[in-house]
Amino acid sequence: MKYLRQISLLVVVAALFLSACGSTAAPAEPDKVTVQLSWFHGVEYAGFYTAIEKGYYAEENIEVTLNAGGPEINPLAEVESGNALFGIGQGDSLITARANGQNFVAVATIFKDNPLAITSLQDDNILKPEDLAGKTVGVYSEDLSSYSDLLFLAFMSRTGLEQDTMQYALIQDFTGANEIKAGNMDAMTGMFATDQQVMTQNAGDSINIMYYKDYGVDVYINTIFVNEELTQSNPDLISRFLRATMKGYQYALENPTEVAAIPLQYDETLDLDYQEKVMKAQIPFIDNGVGSLGSMDGEVWGITQEILLEFGFLSDPIDLSTVYTNQFLPTP
C-alpha cells in the first residue's frame, strides 16, 4: 500500500511537470505598423528598409509595412485617418497642423540638418545671396505666395536680399539643373542637396550650392510623427519602433553601398548606382555630429515657428513642446 501511494505521488508530480511544460505561453503576436512615407520609395528611407531587412523590427516584435508617398498623398491625412500609424512629414507642416487643432507629435527626425538649397551652375558664379540680384530665380509660384516658397522668403529676409531685385520663373522640371541649362532661369530654389545634386553630377554639371541652413533657415524636413493619442496609449510601441529604425539608419550610415540595393526590392525601376550616390550624399544631413540619430533641437523648432509667424502662415505662436519630443528615442 505504501508503495502504491508513492507511485501515485510520482504520477501526480510527473503530470504536473508535464502540464507546466505544456503551458508555456505562445509568443505574442507582433504589432502591425504601417508607415506612410513622404515620397516614392528610395534610399532616403534607408533606415526603415534596413530595419526590416536585418530583422531589427522583428527583434522588437513589430511587423512593418511601408506605404510609398507621392504628390497626391498627404502623410498627415493618412495618419489622421488611421491608414498609417507613423508618418514622415515636414516640421513646419506639423506646427501649422497643431495650430489648426490636429494633434500630431514629431518623435524623431531623419535629416538633422536641412538639405534644401539654392542651386546654380558653377560657371555663373552665383556664390552668395547678393549675386542673385538681377537674376531670374526658379520658384514654386511667381508671386512667392506658395507654401513651398516659404524657406526662400525666409532666406531673403535673413540675408537682406530684396524681393524686387530678381525676376521669377516657375520650376517645372525638377531633374537636376535642366531648367537652368535650358535658359529658363539662373538659379533654382528648394533643391534637395541629396538626390537632385546627384542628378546634376550624373548629367556632368558642376554646380554651386547655397544651403538655407547656413543662413539661419533651418527646419526639419523629414520628421517621424504620430498622433498624440498614441504617445499616451502605447508609448512602448513608439520606443521599440524608433529603437529599431535608428539602428537601421546607423547600419545604413556605416554600410551605404550595401543598403543602397534594398530599395530596389520595393521599386525595381530604381537605379542602383543612383541610389548608392544619394545614400552617400545624405549621410552628413542624417548625422551632423550633434546629438544622437533622430534627436531634435528645440532651437530649430523655434526658428521654424518664427518663419511661419513672419510670413503669415501662423497667426499666433503655439507651445512647441506639444509638437515634438525626444523622449521615445533610444538613450545613447
List, run by run, the mean pLDDT of 10-residue segments along the chain (332 residues). Answer: 40 39 66 98 98 98 98 97 98 97 98 97 97 98 93 97 97 95 97 94 96 96 98 98 98 98 98 98 96 97 98 97 98 82
pLDDT number for residue 25 = 58
pLDDT score, position 26: 62
The model carries a pTM of 0.90
Which class would CATH give 116-215? alpha beta
The pLDDT value recorded for residue 331 is 87
* SS3 track for the chain: CHHHHHHHHHHHHHHHHHHHHHCCCCCCCCEEEEEECCCCCCHHHHHHHHHHHCCHHHHCCEEEEEECCCCCCCHHHHHHHCCCCEEEECHHHHHHHHHCCCCEEEEEECCCCCCEEEEEEHHHCCCCHHHHCCCEEEECCCCCCCHHHHHHHHHHHHHCCCHHHCEEEECCCCCCCHHHHCCCCCEEEEEECCHHHHHHHHCCCCEEEEEHHHHCCCCCCCEEEEEHHHHHHCHHHHHHHHHHHHHHHHHHHHCHHHHCCHHHHCCCCCCHHHHHHHHHHHHHHHCCCCCCCCCCCHHHHHHHHHHHHHCCCCCCCCCHHHCECCCCCCCC
Q: What is the pLDDT of residue 8?
A: 42
Give domain limits for the chain. Answer: 31-113+220-322, 116-215
Taking domain 31-113+220-322, whether its CATH number is 3.30.1330.10 is answered by no
